[in-house]
Each structure stands twice: as structure tokens, then as C-alpha cells.
Amino acid sequence: MNKNIGIISSIIIGSLAYIINNQLVNLGVGVGASTLALIFGALFANLTTNVEEGGKWMIKLVMPMAIILLGFGLNIRSFFGPEIGHLGLFVMLITASTSFITCYIIGKYMKLDLETSLALGTGGAICGNSAVMAVSPGLKLKEEKVGVILAIINLLGLITFFTIPVLSKVLNLTEEQGGIWAGSVIHAVPQAIAAGETIGPEAMVIATTIKLSRVSLLVIIVPLCAIIANNKVKVEGQRFEIGKIPYFIPGFVLAAVLSTWLIPVDLADNLASLGKLLLLPLLASVGFFINKESMRGAGGPILLVGILATICMLISSYLTIIIFS
């Protein structure tokens, strides 16, 4: 019975997040349905009980399907496309590398485990919620830890979403430079597009292209994180077994390959849209595990690492844009 309460609640919350975000988008203030689902899930769980069991069921059984379907939304060709330009590609790689390196070094100093640092770095480097959800099963992160990471990633994503358009004008960046900056730093795809639009029409196109190219890096990062986690826990002397990697990780990569070269674009888009819809009740389920205890126990160090990594991303990308423009 408790499981059913959690399952039904996550579906209702995900649906409400979708509807409310659409209304906010019409008003020009959309923050993302996934962000709302996570927030609503956390609020609901702190006002009631008996939802965690259903949340675990959703995360265990529905997440693999959602991750594979999200793979259909990746066009690997966009990463190598001429639309980005050499500067955009270079800035994107510098920014993503900064996220991972900073999270690893500062995380190690703050005594965070490697898996948490990798998930946090992935959220900043790639695409926020979707990236964290895609790598967390392979990294074997507990629901409470995933909830804390997602809460922090969403907070930092909103901050960059609001600050980059303002800073672009204050620092007198061109539309091209502002678009590159927004696309290479802001976490969520809709936020990067909206920030680019605020800067200018050319900036919106550039920000969208670079942001989607960042997302394509998941094809490399998802299996890599699973291999790192798998290799870390193996018994000494035991050979690495690729079969231990969760089935949805090669499924995710295969979906990206199919969507890029083999299946019609409309079909790939529909499958990816289904994956995004499944992500909403999943994020509500993760929100069930965000509580005072989890935030108090791990939120402080993870938040500090996330803040410092975001600052380093902003600085490194800005300096790269200025130096090489």
C-alpha cells in the first residue's frame, strides 16, 4: 500500500509540474518542468510520509527505460557540426573539463566520495538533471545522495541562468560571445536557450547549438562513469567484467547511434520526448528523499564544491572566449 502511494504521488506531481511549467513558459518565466517536479516532490515528502518506498520502486524500474529513451534525443553529429565553430567547441570542452577537474580536486579535499564528485561534475558539465539521473545508477549512488546533488545542481543552474545574460551586457560581450558563454555554462537546455534569447537572436542560436553539443557528451560520460564505479569496487586480482555494467548504459549509447544515423528524426524525437516525460515522476521520486537530514548530512560539502566548480566554469569559459575571440 505504501508503495502505491509513492508511485501515484510521483505521477501526479510530475503531471502538475508539466502543466504548471507550460503556464509559466507562456508568461515568459519557465524554470523547467524537471526542476519543478524535484521541488514539488521534496515539499510533498516533507509534508507527508510513506512515499519513499514507491519512490524507490520508480527509480529502480522506470529509470532504466527513461535513460534509454533519453538517448534518442542525442544527435552525435551536432558535436562535430560546423555550426558551433572552433571557438565554441574549444570553450565547451574547456568548460566541461573545468567542471570535472574542479569537482574532483575540491571534492577530494572536502572528503567527498569519487562517485558524488563525478555526478556533480557531470551535472555541471553536461545538462543538469538529465545528466545526473543518467550517471547515478552506474555510479551506484543512493537516492538520498542523488536528491541532494540534484537540488544543488538546480539551484546553481538557476543562478547561471539569471546571471549570464546580465554579465554579458555588463562585460560588453558580443552576441556571439554571449551565446557561447550561455551554451557552455548553463545547465538545463531550456534555460540555456532562454538565456541566449535574452542576449539576442544570434546568441540564442549559438547557445542552443553549443548546449545540445554538450548533451551529446553523455554518450561518452555515461559508460565511462559506470566503468569507473565498477572498476573501483572490484576485488583485488579480479578482472574487469563489462557484463557488470547496467544494461541501460549500452542501450543509451545504442539509442544515440540509432537516432543519429539510422531511424527517422520524427521517431527519435517522439521517443526522446517520452523519456523526458518519464523523467518528471522520476525526479519527483528523487525529491521524496530530500529532507533536513540528507541536506544537513551531505548538503554543505556538496554545495560548496558545486558553487566553486560553477565559479570556475564561469571564469574559465569567459577567459577562453576573451583570449581566443
Note whether 129 and 34 are within 8 A (CB).
yes
Distance CA 189, CA 34 (A): 11
Distance CA 58, CA 8 (A): 10
Confidence of residue 236 (pLDDT cuts 50, 70, 90): very low
Q: With 90 as the cut, is the pLDDT of residue 13 above it?
A: yes
Among all chains, which residue has been given the C-alpha cell 510521483? 10
Sign of CA dihedral 125, 207, 210, 212: positive
Mean pLDDT, the chain, rounded, equals: 84
Count of alpha carbons within 13 angstroms of residue 38, beta-carbon side: 26
In Å, how far from its chain's centre is CA 235? Answer: 31
Amino acid 243: pLDDT: 47
Q: What residues contact residue 233 under an 8 Å CB cut-off, 6+ apart?
A: 140
Distance CA 52, CA 289 (A): 7
Domain ranges of the chain: 74-271+292-324
Q: With 80 as the cut, is the pLDDT of residue 29 above it?
A: no
For 117-162, the pLDDT digits (tens) are 999 999 999 877 888 888 888 888 888 888 889 888 888 888 898 8
Amino acid 307: pLDDT: 93
- Read off the C-alpha cell for 196: 541566449
Amino acid 294: pLDDT: 63
Instruction: Please name the helix (run of DSSP H) or strand (run of DSSP E) that holds residue 290, with its range, or none.
Output: none
Contacts of the segment 111-118: beta carbons below 8 A, 24+ positions apart: 111/301, 112/301, 112/302, 112/305, 114/228, 114/232, 115/139, 115/140, 115/141, 115/229, 116/141, 116/145, 116/149, 116/298, 116/302, 117/305, 118/225, 118/228
Confidence of residue 224 (pLDDT cuts 50, 70, 90): confident
In the chain, the N- to C-terminal Cα span, in Å, equals 60
Residue type, 134: A
Q: With 90 as the cut, is the pLDDT of residue 10 above it?
A: yes
Encode 235-284 in three state secondary structure.
CCCCCCCHHHCCCHHHHHHHHHHHHHHCCCHHHHHHHHHHHHHHHHHHHH
Per-residue exposure over 27-64, b if at least 16 CB sit within 10 Å of its own CB, e if not = eeebbbbbbbbbbbbbebbeeeeebbebbbbbbeebbb
For 283-309, the pLDDT digits (tens) are 888 888 876 666 665 668 899 999 999
Q: With 50 as the cut, is the pLDDT of residue 235 above it?
A: no
Distance CA 80, CA 83 (A): 9
Q: With 50 as the cut, is the pLDDT of residue 203 above it?
A: yes
* More confident site: 50 or 108: 108
Note whether 55 and 37 are within 8 A (CB).
no
Distances in whole angstroms, Cα of residue 189 to Cα of each of 53, 68, 140, 157: 31, 18, 26, 10
Q: What residues contact residue 133 under an 8 Å CB cut-off, 6+ apart?
A: 63, 66, 67, 146, 150, 279, 282, 283, 286
- Tell me the whole-structure pTM to 2 decimals: 0.81
The DSSP-derived string for 190-224 is HHHHHHHHHH-HHHHHHHHHHHHHHHHTHHHHHHH
Note whether 258 and 115 are within 8 A (CB).
no
Nearest to 46 by CA among 154, 153, 140, 151: 151
For 40-90, the pLDDT digits (tens) are 998 998 888 778 888 888 888 888 888 888 889 877 776 666 656 788 889
